[in-house]
Chain A
Amino acid sequence: MSGGHRVIEQRRGRCVLVGLGLALTLVLTACSNDPYPPEPPGQKILYSSFTEAPRTLDPATAYTTVAHSVTGAVYETLLKYHFLKRPLELMPGLAAALPTVEDLGEGRSRYRFVLRKGLLFADDACFELGAPGARTREIVMGDVAFQLMRLADPKVGSPVIEPFANIDGFQEFGSALAERREADEAFAARPVHEQYAELGGIRGIATPTPWTLEITLHRPYPQIRYWFAMEFSTPVPWEAVAYYDGQGGRPRFDDHPVGAGPFYLAEYDKHARYVLEKNPNWYGVRNPEWRAPAAVFPEPAEESDVDSGRAEYAGRSLPLIDRVIVVREKENIPRFNKFIQGYYDASGIIKESFDSVVVEGGLSEEMKERGMRLGKSVSPDVFYIGFNFDDEVIGRAGGERSRKLRQAMSLSLDVGEFLRIFNNGRGVVAQSPLPPGIYGFDSDYQNPNRRLDLERARELMVEAGYPGGIDPATNEALKLGFDTANTTTAGLNQVRFFTNAWREIGIDVAIRPTNYNQFQDKIRRGDYQVFQFGWVADYPDPENFFFLLWSKMARSVAGGPNAANFMDDRFDELFVSMKARENGPERIAEIREMRSILERERPWIELFHREDYSLYQGWVKNVKPMGLSIPTYQYRDIDPEARRALREEWNEPVLWPAWTLLFLAFLVIVPGVRTYLEERQ
């Protein structure tokens, strides 16, 4: 080989060595499983995750748990729920007190809210629109009125028009707005706050002073108060809606919330991560001396609050943490494993790991040793099987015969077994539509037609004229259809559980899988007999469950959510009365009578209320789920030192397999090369 060639070869060899050295350095510096950059000292950061990107953060339309985890922290409401009291109880938020109610006669009433003075929105560039150089401004009741007008605006497409339609002139305002926009293009092109102002606002909403809001209802609806504890009615600055229009590089209002909550949205990539920072303008931070109920950690309300150490926090100003980092984690298994490594502060429990985490309803020894805690809460929901009362066989036309058939079908289902098979035993067997935590729920109540009693079910079949399940008209097993839009294998297996149970009393229920639209179409046409639905409460009031069986909500008549088309005069009478009544013995008596009607009539077979199991790291304090999708970040506390130490302990890399692999590769390749070279020589 010539000298030139040798130099080139040497240079090449050096390049390879440098390249390998660089690659090795890269691999070694990358060798850490910590997904976060170093934390700034002295900051308390909560780490969490989300699965699906929120569609919108507009408080008029956001209606999912993931969206509420942002909007609930960024927007503040006039009323709030007490963090520790169960059942949930309303308390003042931005409002100085709970609203006063004035009876105007003929079912009309007026609610009067008074706002605290000196409240500010979070800093934002949009306020330049109102006053040059301004970064924020004072919140006034006009901002709440503006948001209520947005709810009525058909262009916004809010999902909660129906409850707010109890406000005098609410729907007329929406219609007038649509008509005017249709007729006048110049009007339609103006900013919405100018359009609303020109139409004169909603008749039933008045702001006699900047800090007073009067809402006039044209029919009784005391539940309206709950809607003022939701972000739908939060104060929204007109400047934010006008400024964040998606033009000129500005985001849309959907993606850029401007509120007055304990946190503001510091970073938002809806498909990857978002960061909430403590809002220095929040009244709890700016004016801790006010000792406002929603800005101070409450006194313990239950024994469990004392046992879990929450009592020590009573009276402390909120929020207790500085920042919340929420990362998108689409898959369950990586999310759970990262929680086990200490990189998330809380997690649900995946099915695959349930048995290793939960033993006999409590935490496994391994989890206890890691200092983890298990939180259980029953969700304010109900899952049920419904019967279509418009159907000739199963519905009202069949009279006593159909009633007994429905009762027999109700007595054939073992829901406890269903929960054990399909949900790791998680869930509370439902006895009535009301779940625990909702006023009127009675833990001692046992529905006589809502248990497994095959003997009685068979007797009822005989009484109904279907002995052994045989339909005398055909001399064959009675045939019914179960429509389901859940056509996944798991979904169909669940339906199969029910149809197999009914086969025990001789009924042949065919499963009719359809897609959601076909199912909706069938429901519109009344072409269905048995179906399965669920309902999650919007607010903690029995009205929000019993209205699903009110005749005015019947699907076939009004297109409402009463898909069973259940219509019972006495039930309706009791519902209307119960709905307007304050909690107390009379309301309880009415709830009991409604419950007994459902017990007998069986428009539903109540199945279960979901039970959520959550795991929390030992360094997270003050976790008390509220059931409804209400974030409680401001109450949480973190011990960052304990977290850092445990993360280090749990995540020491195991390097011996890398060295073993390299050694094995060496053992395989070197003899081969040597043999080959020897053979070639």
Chain B
Amino acid sequence: MGAYVLRRLAYGVGVVLGVLFLLFVLFFAVTEPEDIARKALGDKVPPEAIAVWLENHGYDRPLWPWQDFEENLLFDHYRRMLTFDFGLSDADDSPIVDRIRAGAGPSLTLTVPLLVLGLLTAIPLSLLVAFFRETYIDRMGVFLCVLAMSVSTLLYIIGGQYVVGKLLRWYPISGFDADPMMLPRFLALPILVGILSGVGGDVRFYRTVFLEESSRDFVRTARSKGASEPRIMTRHVLRNALIPILTRVVTAIPFLFMGSLLLEAFFGIPGLGSMTFDAIQANDFATLRTMVYVGALLFIFGQVATDISYGFVDPRVRVE
């Protein structure tokens, strides 16, 4: 087990180093530090102010080690990432670590309930359509799922803001307030939209899993012993379908910290998703590389955690 985890982590290190290199190359291929400086400082500033900004942010150095082995951007990029010295945002000079600390809370307040409520919606619904398999409820359910999957998340957001926020006036169209009395009204609409945009795919996936489990021998045995259908679905099918459910959930858990890019950006939630969205718009390389790096680390962590968790839910699985 320990060796397996170490091996997986070693693979992960390779992946992260590769991701960092690709990120560096791609970013500097499409933009130049002067562009970032112009975006941050505005068009009116004189060349001297641009030069000061480049120097303050370390972009006045050559890109590659063969240009200057000691003072080059590539080595500095790796050094910073690997020592978690993320530095300052290129867009507004704020310390990136502080922003991550400040943004993780709002992100989690959105993504954790979204994950839990999403599961609580998708699993019963998929159990329901699987329970009524090959009836009009099943067929209508599958049709609605495909329909829900075909609509862009952006449309859910704009539609949700228009219908629920503007026409029905149930919840604020956008915004955020961490005050516990105010928080639920700001989270209600993004969570509703998040569930709606994800439920189609989830129900389709879980329904397939449940149908596959419900055709197995132990289910037939349980049925022949006179167990009721609801009992079979919840006790036998659901329990044995935990591995694929777990794969999906445990892989998603680390990414809860990263927030939701679109939901946060459009609903004005000051989380890490919103921060990444801003960084993309502002050519904020320092923030972007940090978020991509953190994302890669979380991905690898999620993969390893998923493998390990199999052993807990299914004693037959052994990680070696």
Chain A positions near chain B (C-beta within 8 angstroms): 26-27, 29-35, 37, 52-56, 61, 63-64, 154-159, 161-162, 246, 252, 254-255, 269-272, 327-331, 333-334, 337-338, 340-341, 343, 515-517, 520, 559, 651-655, 657-658, 668-669, 672, 675-676, 680
Q: Whole-angstrom distance between the alpha carbons of A334 and B266 in the complex?
A: 8
Expressed in whole angstroms, the minimum distance between the Cβ of B206 and any Cβ of chain A is 19
Interface string of B37-52 (1 = CB under 8 A from A): 0101110111111001
Q: Known: A37-B179, A157-B52, A676-B132. Is A334-B270 also a contact (CB below 8 A)?
A: no
Nearest Cβ distance between residue B266 and chain A, in whole angstroms?
Answer: 6
Tell me the B154-190 residues at the A interface (CB within 8 Å). Answer: 158, 161-162, 165-177, 179, 181-182, 184-188
B135 interfacial contact with A, CB 8 Å:
yes
Q: Which of B52, B91, B140, B186 contacts A154 (CB 8 A)?
A: B52
Given contacts A331-B174, A676-B132, contact A30 B45 (CB under 8 A): no
> Which residue on chain B has the smallest CB distance to residue A331?
B266
Q: Which of B60-68, B71-79, B93-101 contacts A (4 or more CB under 8 A)?
A: B93-101
B218 to chain A, nearest CB (A): 20
**Most interface-central of B38, B56, B184, B187 (chain A CB within 10 A):** B184
Q: What residues of chain B lie closer than 8 Å to A162, measured between beta carbons?
A: 46
Interface centre among B49, B102, B158, B275 (most CB of A within 10 A): B49
Known: A33-B172, A53-B278, A271-B275. A330 touches B94 (CB 8 A): no
A-B contact pairs, 7 of them (CB 8 A): A26-B184, A32-B172, A37-B182, A56-B93, A327-B268, A331-B174, A341-B169
Query: Which chain B residues lie closer than 8 Å to A343 at the CB level?
Result: 172
CB-based nearest A residue for B172: A35
Q: Which residue among B48, B140, B170 has the maximum number of chain A CB atoms within 10 Å of its CB?
A: B170
Beyond A53-B278, A334-B173, is A158–B49 a contact (Cβ under 8 Å)? Answer: yes
Check B93 against A254 for contact (C-beta < 8 Å).
yes
If A29-B184, A31-B185, A161-B49 are given as contacts, then 14 extra A-B residue pairs at C-beta distance below 8 Å, sorted by A number, are A30-B184, A33-B173, A34-B185, A35-B172, A37-B177, A54-B92, A55-B41, A157-B49, A159-B45, A254-B93, A271-B274, A329-B174, A330-B265, A334-B165
The residues of A that contact B135 with a CB separation of less than 8 Å are 672, 675-676
Minimal beta-carbon separation of A329 from chain B (angstroms): 6
Q: Which residues of A contact B314 (CB under 8 A)?
A: none
Distance in Å from the Cβ of A77 to the closest Cβ of chain B? Answer: 19
Chain A residues with Cβ under 8 A from B85's Cβ?
none
Binary contact track B260-291/A, C-beta < 8 Å → 1, others 0: 00000110101000110010001000000000
Q: Secondary structure at chain A's binding surface: helix, strand, loop or mixed?
A: loop
Residue ID in chain B nearest A159 by CB atoms: B45
B residues 170-222 touching A (CB-CB < 8 Å): 170-177, 179, 181-182, 184-188
Question: Complex Cα distance A327/B176, Å?
Answer: 9
A244 vs chain B, min Cβ distance (A): 13
Name A654's closest neighbour in chain B (CB-CB).
Answer: B168
- Picked from B34, B49, B158, the residue with its CB within 8 Å of the CB of A333 is B158
Which applies to chain B's interface (DSSP): helix, strand, loop or mixed? Answer: helix
- A55:B132 contact, CB within 8 angstroms: no
Across chains A and B, which 6 residue pairs bring their CB atoms closest together, nearest first? A157-B52, A30-B184, A159-B45, A272-B270, A334-B174, A35-B172
Chain B residue numbers with a CB within 8 Å of A161 are 46, 48-49
CB of B49 within 8 A of CB of A672, answer: no
Considering the chains assembled together, what is the distance between the CA atoms of A516 and B182 in angstroms? 44
Is B92's CB under 8 angstroms from A55's CB? yes
CB-CB under 8 A from A56, the residues of chain B are 92-93
- Whether A654 and B169, one on each chain, are in contact in the complex, defined by CB atoms closer than 8 angstroms, is yes
Given A159-B46, A271-B275, are A31 and B171 neighbors across the interface (CB < 8 Å)? yes
Contact B177 A157 (CB under 8 A): no
| Chain B, Cβ-Cβ closest to A669 | B137
A331 vs B69: C-alpha distance in the bound complex, in angstroms? Answer: 45
B312 beta carbon closer than 8 Å to chain A: no
Measured between alpha carbons, how far is A34 from B165 in the docked complex, in Å? 10
Q: Cβ of B278 and Cβ of A654 under 8 Å apart? A: no
Please give the distance in Å from A555's CB to the nearest CB on chain B. 12
Which of chain A's residues have a CB closer than 8 A to the CB of B41?
A: 55, 63, 159
How distant is B139 from chain A, measured CB to nearest CB, in Å?
11
Q: Chain A's nearest CB lies how many Å from the CB of B51?
A: 8
Cα A559 to Cα B46 in complex, Å, equals 9
Q: What's the nearest-Cβ distance from chain A to residue B168, in Å?
A: 5
Q: Using Cβ atoms and an 8 Å threshold, which residues of chain B touch A328?
A: 268, 270
A517 touches B35 (CB 8 A): yes
- How far is the CB of B227 from the nearest CB of chain A, in Å? 13
- Smallest CB gap from A30: residue in B: B184
Complex contact B94–A270 (CB within 8 A): yes
Establish whether residues A329 and B48, one from each chain, have CB atoms under 8 Å apart when the complex forms: no
Does A63 contact B168, Cβ atoms closer than 8 Å? no
**Closest residue of A by beta carbon distance from B95:** A246
Nearest B residue to A19, CB-CB: B120
Which residues of chain A are within 8 angstroms of B44 by Cβ–Cβ distance? 63, 159
Contact in complex: B168, A157 (CB < 8 Å): no
